[in-house]
Structures are given as C-alpha cells and as structure tokens.
Chains A and B, each alone.
Chain A
C-alpha cells in the first residue's frame, strides 16, 4: 500500500514494527515502531509516558516527510 500511495505522487512514511519487511517490500521513508500489537504505544508505561513516545515517533515521521531522500531511509527515533 505504501508503494501505491508513493506511486500516486503523495510522499508517505511507513511506521512499522518489522523494518526488514518494509525494506523488502520497498518503502522509502521508514520509522521503526515499538512492537507488533502496539506499534505506536507501550502499555507497560504510564499514559503520559506512552503518549510521549507516540509524540516522539510522530515527530520523527514528520521529519521523515520533510526530508529529501533518494533511497530507502530508516529514520530512527531513540528508544530506551
């Protein structure tokens, strides 16, 4: 789906847990996620901490969308 959106001419960032799959399939802008059942959250944290992580990841996603890339690029955000 990422590729079809890209093909339509809309820049797209893929936030996903299993980065190797995203790379194989061919996403260009990739932000690694937390875990498969909760990619943009972490139930082990408090509600505030969890939201903080989500803000960090999405800030990274916005940064990815604002960055020119020529090849597949993984935009890592700092995990604990």
Chain B
C-alpha cells in the first residue's frame, strides 16, 4: 500500500522563520516536512508521509482572514493530499484560530480528512471544536511529543475513515456529539460508586457535566456620554516605561493600575508594552496605538466625554489563563464601580 499524502499547516514560528517580528509572513508552500512535521513523519511510519508544508504568519492570517484562507487552501489543494494536519497550536490564540479556520475549510470546501490540535483554552478550540477534530494538547510547545502521540494515530483513523471513539478515548476536545453505548455496570451502581468516591474525597468523573453557557447580558447604554466618566483597560500590556510591576510577557499572574492624571500623550520615553505575543515595535514607539490616551484627552477637552478616569488597568492577554483574566477583571471592575466609572473601553491586540 502506498503512503497517504499529508499536507501540514504551521505558522512562521514553528517553521523557524521568526517570532512576532515575522508574524506578518505571507503564505508559502514548501515541499516535504518542516519543523514539527518531522515528529509526525516518524509517528506515521510506513502509513503516511508529509509531502508538503504550508507556512503562514499568525498576524497575516488573522488580519487577512479571507484572502489568507483562500491562498492557503489553494496551496493545500495543489498537492491533492489524503490528509491535512494543522498545528498543533497549543495556547497560541492567533495560531489556534488560523489552524481551526484552515482545518474547517479543508473539511468543508475540499472534503479532505483533517485534524488539528490545541490547548482547551485556546480561543480557536471553542470556535472550531464542533467542526473538526481538535486534539487536546498542553498549553505550550513543550507538549509537542504528547501532542504528536495523540494526533498521529487520530489523523490516520480520520484519513482512513475508521470509527472514531469517544473524546476521552481518542484525546480530542469534546465536540458535543453524543453516541449511545452500553456501560459495563448499571446506572445505580455507578451512581453509588460516584457518591462513595465523593464522600471519601476521592476523584470521580461526572457523567453529566453542566453546560458552560457563559454569556453576560449587555448593560443598558450610557444615557449621556458627554457626561460619562470613562476608563481605559487593555490586554495589550501597556505599562509605564521599565514595567515597574514586572507584568509577565505571557501567562500574566497579575495586572497593573496606573495613574494617568495630567498625561495627555503616551510617548516612547514614558510608556511601552510588556506583551510578548505581538511585535512590540509599534506599541513601544507610540503606546497610544494600543491605549488611546491622547484621543481620549482630546475628547475630554472637547466635551465629547465627561472625563477620562484617573487610572488605567492593564495586563498581557498572551497565554493568560481564562481563570486569571476573570479574577483580575472581577477585582478591578469593583474598583471602577466604586470610583463611579460609567463605561469602559477595553482594547485588545
């Protein structure tokens, strides 16, 4: 039997082209495997082989979603693959969205078997888990070996049209599809076992996880914006020059609160970004591009808003756990409320 032809989609980082300064890299098609493709080829053995790799910068893909998707898809199609693998993207948000977008398009538009892989908190996971198989990976590239161990066999099964087992058996992120099956033990016994485990403080797995509908109802609009006190918040990591509170460049453990009384313009000499997830050149040159203090001050002067709140809040959204971001914001939102802030403009990169 001849080997299955595989096309692999990766970003500029895993292709060893560069980091954030190369995130605007345009799609490129290369023959053979690149970077993590080698581990996949080894895992595939005699069954499949990566014949080509499509590389695209994460920022380029996300900022030019439609054109990038089309170009990447045409490149993949030109190799008439039997199987496509995207990533894995771990906890890289833009990479996850790119992998999910490419994978969904390969499945829907080309009708070719495809899988991707990412960390469960990657925004791409929620967006695409119902459309394609997404192997559940760790949150950093240190988990590459484990990811390949799950992805390679899953990919081969998908390519050969074999029956795919439950998410817990195959290692993909639950896609919401339920399948009937017979349990070895009857329900009453399982329930009692679960209860005993719970009472003994042992681990147990529920058979009916509560759905996670985390939506917040929009608040009423601001009645008169020209009288409103408005606060700026950002996940773009803008901090006073020198990053006095040492906010981490990724996976932030805390946020900063900074006084901008009397500040009318953020300059290269006074502010910078601590964010490690995008090319910092433009933000370091003029932080107003991320945290628009200059224009908000103009609006304040022109009477278009009541006032700009004296403090801004900031953290780096790069790989930061959802639970941390939630905790930060729950905390400072109370402060904002106590300070009589009427509305918030939150900027993200």
Establish whether residues B343 and A11, one from each chain, have CB atoms under 8 Å apart when the complex forms: yes
CA distance A40 to B123 in the complex (A): 22
CA distance A67 to B220 in the complex (A): 8
Size bin of chain A's contact surface: 35 or more
Establish whether residues B218 and A70, one from each chain, have CB atoms under 8 Å apart when the complex forms: yes
**If the complex has contacts A37-B279, A39-B289, A67-B221, are A15 and B346 also in contact, measured as CB distance less than 8 A?**
yes
CA distance A18 to B330 in the complex (A): 23
CA distance A63 to B337 in the complex (A): 21
**If the complex has contacts A7-B333, A11-B220, are A58 and B348 also in contact, measured as CB distance less than 8 A?**
no
**If the complex has contacts A10-B219, A10-B341, are A37 and B348 also in contact, measured as CB distance less than 8 A?**
no
Establish whether residues B233 and A40, one from each chain, have CB atoms under 8 Å apart when the complex forms: no
Instruction: Give the number of chain B interface residues (Cβ < 8 Å).
Output: 66
**If the complex has contacts A8-B337, A15-B348, A66-B221, are A38 and B283 also in contact, measured as CB distance less than 8 A?**
yes
Establish whether residues B290 and A40, one from each chain, have CB atoms under 8 Å apart when the complex forms: yes
**Which B residues touch A17, using CB under 8 A?**
62-63, 348-349
CB distance from A21 to the nearest CB of B (A): 4
Question: Quick check: is B304 within 8 A (CB to CB) of the other chain?
Answer: yes
Establish whether residues B216 and A65, one from each chain, have CB atoms under 8 Å apart when the complex forms: no
List B residues 319-349 near A (Cβ within 8 Å).
325-326, 328-330, 333-334, 336-337, 341-349
Question: Quick check: is B248 within 8 A (CB to CB) of the other chain?
Answer: no
Residue of chain A at shortest CB distance from B324: A1
Establish whether residues A4 and B326, one from each chain, have CB atoms under 8 Å apart when the complex forms: yes
Question: Quick check: is B280 within 8 A (CB to CB) of the other chain?
Answer: yes
Establish whether residues B233 and A1, one from each chain, have CB atoms under 8 Å apart when the complex forms: yes
CA distance A68 to B336 in the complex (A): 21
CB distance from B190 to the nearest CB of A (A): 34
Give the residue of A5, A16, A18, A61 whose beta carbon is less than 8 angstroms from that of B329: A5
**Which A residues touch B94, using CB under 8 A?**
18, 36
**Which B residues touch A50, using CB under 8 A?**
289
CA distance A15 to B289 in the complex (A): 12
Question: Quick check: is B296 within 8 A (CB to CB) of the other chain?
Answer: yes
Give the residue of B325, B344, B349 whose beta carbon is less than 8 angstroms from that of A12: B344
Establish whether residues A13 and B326, one from each chain, have CB atoms under 8 Å apart when the complex forms: no
Write 9 A-B pairs (CB below 8 A) sorted by A numbering.
A1-B326, A7-B333, A10-B343, A15-B346, A26-B216, A37-B278, A50-B289, A54-B289, A62-B225
Closest 7 CB pairs of A and B: A41-B289, A4-B329, A8-B333, A1-B329, A28-B218, A16-B348, A38-B282
